[in-house]
Chains A and B, each alone.
Chain A
Amino acid sequence: MKIMVTIKRVIDYAVKIRVKPDKTGVVTQNVKMSMNPFCEIALEEALRIKESGLASEVIAVSMGPSQSIDTLRTGLAMGADRGIHVEANDSLYPLSVAKILKKLVEIEKPGLLILGKQAIDDDCNQTGQMIAGLLNWPQGTFASKVVLDKEKQVVTVDREVDDGIETLSLNLPAVITTDLRLNQPRYATLPNIMKAKSKPIKKYTPEELNVEIKSDLEIVEVTEPPKRKSGVIVSSVDELIDKLKNEANVI
């Protein structure tokens, strides 16, 4: 069984984000980019399943500009067997990603599709759910534990939900999106980074896959969140009530 994992190249989580002066987005020039942390977790889970003998191959998929290949190489260095790069220079919103992914799934026919629950740049949390809908596959999102039963062709997923943990049993093929506590991703070792240079990356364009990228969303404006005002120490309860009523207007 093959496992397909999507990985996204995003601004590194430790970078201080700045909004562009023209408010059309955030500054990405000369900014450090890395693999989305949830995608790292997804890839790590796929690699563990493969290492336990339950899968034959892990394919890493990334969609974006040519620099996404760097992120794919990191994925290959972690242990993915081969990569697929879908070249797209404009922003891809979740529905477009899901549509492209559907075509790739039809080509590669994986038994399991693992994605990060969301990307840390747009926080959409939609792609996994959308691809499951398009493929009509069962989905286990926000996974904190994944147990595969190859014989029964079933995967048991513990999901982190608001009131606790929900356990689902999904028939394969299925879609899983990963949450933070699922695993701790491995480091890519130097020898593996060197070996990854020769692992194959297949390139597609959306046109080749017969997918039309049309943006169903338009970003109107990007602004920084309002600066947090410093707190004020009040001298009495009466003053507090007065401020809550007349300044903060909350009572």
Chain B
Amino acid sequence: MLKFISHFLKSKSNLKSTLSNSRVPISRNFCTTPIRDSIQYDVVIVGAGPAGLSAAIRLKQLCRQNDTDLSVCVLEKGAEVGAHILSGNVFEPRALNELLPQWKQQEAPITTPVSSDKFWFLTKNRAISLPSPFNNEGNYVISLSQLVRWMGAKAEELGVEIYPGFAASEILYDANNKVIGIGTNDMGISKDGSKKENFQRGVEIKGRMTLLSEGCRGSLSEQIMKKYNLREKGGAEHQTYALGIKEVWEIDEEKHQPGAVLHTLGWPLDHKTYGGSFLYHMKDRQIALGLVVALNYQNPFMNPYEEFQKLKHHPAIKPYLEGGTVIQYGARTLNEGGFQSIPYPVFPGGAIIGCSAGFLNVPKIKGTHTAMKSGMLAAEAAFGAVNEGLDMNTYWDALRNSWIWEELYKARNYRPAFKYGLIPGLALSGLEHYILKGRHPITLKHGKPDHEATNAAQLHSPIHYPKPDGILSFDVPTSLHRSNTNHEHDQPPHLRLRDPKIPELTNLPVYAAPESRYCPARVYEYVAAEQNKLKLQINAQNCLHCKACDIKDPKQNIKWTVPEGGGGPGYSVM
């Protein structure tokens, strides 16, 4: 009798879990939702960025070498390849040299070698030159958006199918909890959830192997890491992040020095806030200028966007910009967890590559080369897995035997050292850089997760930021216009609140609504509602897909999900 009852209970829970894993809520069994089209590929890659495209290209190269073919499909939520790509970028061609050694002859948009490398410590009025800790010889100042565009063309030449404008919104599983592909968003749903005239059901893109290359804090990647406990499995700490806000300016000819690289530390950020700025001279009189702020900042009144506007007025920075015009604006979060935060990147049916896993080298401030290499290694493992039934876990071994591992291991203590403050951090970094070079067994741990680091508002006072002057500094709507961001406005907001009451009950009273300050797109605004109370208004249409809110919300109440494909920023020179 007891055996029967326990068997009955077990099978009931199995039924529920099978159903929820195959993404069919129990209620849907009884209604007539149109069945989705299903398209089968050998390899499905989510995200046409450096990692995803490197993986795609490598797969096709392996096919050629082995006289076989695999169908490879890359899905990209941006309206075109490169539209959602934003990075400094001082590019180290190490991985590209391995992937496409003829890149120069093939006219890759990598034409501006680094010509000088400066490092300044800023105070409010001065810039103190320090020895540059970087070695950028052999590197290039590029627009990653343009490079990715070029890589997309190369991938298509090799037979990769790339579909921009399609957002992968869900993972598909089989009855054994193995990932069998992704589902794209339904399109044409109105704000209230009803179907519009042009409603279009999403499609299922199934793959024998699924590679997730969504960039930092990828929405599906985060889901997968939680589901399969990948951080624990890899013995990893939590990931830590920074928010980068960037503009591309076209400046006066006389002020332009192609290949000049400048990094700064110090002002406008305080001693407790890690971050710094960059100014890179590209070609065509264009410069890339930005501020990177670590998201474990404590003061909830901090506004990274406004700090960036302040930076542009610094007497050492201002001269470059005077007489120039802003061409584009954008923002994106980046990983700072480095070696300590690398999750186990393989799951049943696929793997995570690039910044979605997190291979950025923080002291070098470079992540493109490691992202690309991780894509290539995953492709090699995937090729073996799909073609010969080999184990995909060889990707993990390949990572640990590659230069990615070596590089990230050496760089592992720089960022964690700053949890003790700016000066101790600099001192420890100096020690690491000039003497120890990572050759010791100590591995510092990270501080608190970014969202837990925010202090209550009562411990700080509001920061007064100067008004923008419209010439060097600008208000958010003006900057946003320059990001070419747009979303179909009549769609359900893609920023979901797990508990709709928390903003007014916690974020506003306890933390003074930090989301209204760290979001570089003014998505979160508290507006006057009835009874003179303030209510959260989500301007989802402004979203730059940077993921800062998903990371920094104190109660982790904000969940970034993917909107209708084709929306979001339109970066072309970022």
Distance in angstroms from B466 CB to nearest chain A CB is 17
**Cβ–Cβ contact A187 & B327, under 8 A:** no
**Known contacts A16-B482, A32-B79; A191/B39 CB under 8 A:** yes
> Which 6 pairs between the two chains have the least Cβ-Cβ distance?
A14-B486, A30-B572, A187-B200, A187-B187, A186-B198, A190-B203
- Residue among A18, A187, A190, A193 with most chain B CB within 10 A: A190
**Complex Cα spacing A35 to B554, Å:** 42
Nearest A residue to B196 via CB reads A184
What 0/1 readout, one digit per residue, does chain B (196-228) give for beta carbons within 8 Å of chain A?
Answer: 111010010100000000000000000000000
Instruction: Kindly state whether residue B146 has any CB partner on chain A within 8 Å.
Output: yes
Q: Are A191 and B198 in contact (CB under 8 A)?
A: no
Question: When chains A and B are docked, how far (Å) is the Cα of A32 from the Cα of B570?
Answer: 7
Question: How far, in angstroms, from A12 to B203 measured CA to CA in the complex?
Answer: 26
CA distance A214 to B205 in the complex (A): 48
A190 to B166, Cβ gap below 8 A? Answer: yes
Selected contact of A32 from candidates B198, B203, B572, CB within 8 Å: B572
Q: Give the bracket for the number of chain A residues in contact with chain B.
A: 10 to 19
Q: How far is the CA of A13 from the CA of B187 in the complex (A)?
A: 20
Contact of B481 with A by CB under 8 A: yes
- 30 pairs from A and B in contact (CB 8 Å cutoff): A12-B484, A12-B570, A14-B485, A15-B484, A15-B570, A16-B481, A16-B484, A18-B327, A30-B146, A30-B149, A30-B573, A32-B79, A32-B83, A32-B484, A32-B572, A183-B197, A184-B196, A184-B197, A184-B198, A186-B198, A187-B198, A187-B200, A189-B37, A189-B200, A189-B203, A190-B203, A190-B205, A191-B203, A193-B163, A194-B39
- Nearest chain B CB to A79 CB, angstrom units: 12
Chain A: which residue is nearest B146 at the CB level?
A30
Q: CB-defined interface of B62-104 with A at 8 Å, one 1/0 digit per residue?
A: 0000000000000000011001000000000000000000000
Residue of B nearest to A18 (CB): B327
- Note all chain A residues with C-beta closer than 8 A to B80: 32
- Residue among A16, A31, A191 with the most chain B CB within 10 A? A16
With contact pairs A16-B481, A16-B482, A32-B484 given, residues A190 and B572 touching in the complex (Cβ less than 8 Å): no
Chain B interface (Cβ < 8 Å from any Cβ of A):
37, 39, 79-80, 83, 146, 149, 161, 163, 166, 184, 187-188, 196-198, 200, 203, 205, 325, 327-328, 481-482, 484-486, 570, 572-573
Is A64's beta carbon under 8 Å from chain B?
A: no
Identify 20 new A-B residue pairs, CB closer than 8 A, beyond the known A32-B570, A191-B39.
A12-B79, A12-B484, A14-B484, A14-B486, A18-B325, A30-B146, A30-B573, A32-B79, A34-B79, A184-B196, A186-B200, A187-B187, A187-B188, A187-B198, A190-B184, A190-B203, A190-B205, A191-B203, A193-B163, A194-B39
Residues from chain A with Cβ under 8 Å of B328 in the complex: 16
Q: Mark A179-205, 1 if CB is under 8 A from B, else 0.
A: 000011111011101100000000000
A191-B37 contact given A184-B196, A184-B197, CB 8 Å threshold: yes
* Assembly CA distance A241 to B166 (angstroms): 56
Q: Mark A10-35, 1 if CB is under 8 A from B, else 0.
A: 00101110100000000000111010
- Complex Cα–Cα for A184 and B199 (A): 10
Bound together, the chains give a CA A238 to CA B573 distance in angstroms of 50
Instruction: Point out the residues of chain A lying under 8 angstroms from B149, CB to CB.
Output: 30
Expressed in whole angstroms, the Cα–Cα distance for A14 and B485 within the complex equals: 7
Q: Which residues of A contact B570 (CB under 8 A)?
A: 12, 14-15, 32
Closest chain-B Cβ to A20's Cβ sits at a distance in Å of: 11
Question: In the bound complex, what is the Cα–Cα distance between A16 and B480 (angstroms)?
Answer: 10
Q: List the B side residues contacting A183 at CB < 8 Å.
A: 197
A32 to B184, CA, bound (A): 23
Query: How many Å from the CB of B245 to the closest CB on chain A?
Result: 17
Q: How far is A107 from B263 in the complex, measured between Cα atoms in Å?
A: 63
A186 to B482, CA, bound (A): 28
* A190/B163 in contact, CB under 8 A: yes
Q: List the B side residues contacting A31 at CB < 8 Å.
A: 572
Q: List residues of chain B with CB within 8 A of the CB of A184.
A: 196-198
**Nearest chain B CB to A72 CB, angstrom units:** 16
Residue of B nearest to A197 (CB): B161
Chain B residues with CB under 8 A of A187:
187-188, 198, 200
Residues of B within 8 A of A186 (CB): 198, 200
Which residues on the B side are within 8 Å of A190 (C-beta)?
37, 39, 163, 166, 184, 203, 205
Roughly how many angstroms separate A128 CA and B309 CA in the complex, as a whole number?
Answer: 48
Within 8 A of B (CB), among A25-77: 30-32, 34
Closest to B203 in A: A190
Residues of A contacting B39 in the complex (Cβ-Cβ under 8 angstroms): 190-191, 194
The smallest C-beta distance from B80 to any residue of chain A, in angstroms, reads 6
> Hey, which chain A residues are within 8 Å of B198, CB to CB?
184-187
Query: Which residues on A sit within 8 Å (CB–CB) of B327?
Result: 18
Contacts of A15 in B (CB 8 A): 484, 570
Q: Which residue of B lies closest to A13 (CB)?
A: B486
Q: How far is the CB of A148 from chain B (nearest CB, A)?
A: 19
Q: Which residues of A contact B485 (CB under 8 A)?
A: 14
- Give A111-151 as 1s and 0s: 1 = Cβ < 8 Å from B's Cβ atoms: 00000000000000000000000000000000000000000
